Amino acid sequence: MKLVHLSDLHFPVHLPLTSLKGKMVPGYLNYSLRRKKKYPLRLWDSLVETVLSLDPDAIVISGDITNVSHLTEYFGSLEHLKPLLNEKTFMIPGNHDRYTRAAVSGPVPYYEKFFSQWMGDQVPGSSGYLRWKRIGEVCLIGLDSNKPLSVLNAYGYVDPTVVRHALAFLRENRIEKYVLVCHHPIWNPPERQESAGHRMRNREEIAEILRESPPLAYLHGHVHTNWVKKPGKKKPYYVINSASSTRTSDLRHECGFHVLETGQKTPEIKRFIYSEQTSKFIEAATILYEEKE
């Protein structure tokens, strides 16, 4: 199976300041002043062209399509994403998609209201967010590590009961090959360690549970620079970060996306980055790490 992994698209949707409330105000001002210019739509147009040319079996988007989870952003994000939304697509929310209480309150959260048909099916009997979708011989499992927080925090948390339920579901259905998708990292390179206000707070607990039945790969975003961790003793699976797929690279952020091919005994991972010289996404060296945590 050929899987394209995208993350942290942060579509540049204009919002009138008069439409913002609460933490949206500082959040959107921070985005407008610091990051908006880093997400030119020419990168998205080129990315769509590249993804379609790759003809993948699955397209995974691991969160953060919006910036402050304003309702207007969802309309705009849906329009931008339409070329890649089909039966191959599997999406989960990121912390910016759960940015405010308004985005998650009510009978249907904003993310589900717009994208539920590409989020897979809810695992029966689960007490929390637990989605799945089978494509070929691989099962995609989606977790939600996000909730509305103060403007200074972006940490994540995953209910261990939900993860145990996921593994039980896989056993009961005799599913051996699966890929886990969650917005927050479960591992970081030494030079990319996150603060307590940014990381998944119980990630080592989740990693220990996963050792019982490891995925082929753990796909995530959240930290806006690419990497791939090889399977190791503590986390015997690939950890793949494709954030931020549509951000222009700079000295601290090496951006792009990954393609995961699972047909062989050892999965093959390719990295694509945007080339300013050609105005296209091109294949580049994958940034690989050994597990030393």
Cα(69)–Cα(182) distance, integer angstroms: 18
- Would you state the structure tokens that stand for residue 234, as one six-digit string? 């503590």
For residue 248, what are its two tokens?
A: 């222009």
Radius of gyration, CA atoms only, the chain: 18
Phi, psi of 271 (to 5 degrees): -115, 140
Positive or negative: CA dihedral 147, 149, 154, 157: negative
Q: What is the DSSP letter of 201?
A: T
In this structure, what token pair is assigned to residue 160?
Answer: 């261990």
pLDDT at 293: 52
Q: What separation in angstroms does the CA of 52 have from each of 30, 63, 136, 162?
A: 33, 20, 19, 34
**The predicted structure's pLDDT at residue 264:** 78
Distance CA 65, CA 10 (A): 5
| pLDDT score at 127 | 87
According to the model, what pLDDT value does residue 7 have?
98
Identity (one letter) of the amino acid at 240?
Answer: I
- Domains of the chain plus CATH, in order, are 2-289 (3.60.21.10)
The one-digit pLDDT tens for each residue of the chain (293 residues) are 999 999 999 999 999 989 999 999 999 999 998 888 999 999 999 999 999 999 999 999 999 999 999 999 999 999 999 999 999 999 999 999 999 999 999 899 999 999 999 999 999 999 899 999 999 999 999 999 999 999 999 999 999 999 999 999 999 999 999 999 999 999 999 999 999 999 999 999 999 999 999 999 999 999 999 999 999 999 999 999 999 999 999 999 999 999 999 987 889 999 999 999 999 999 999 999 999 75
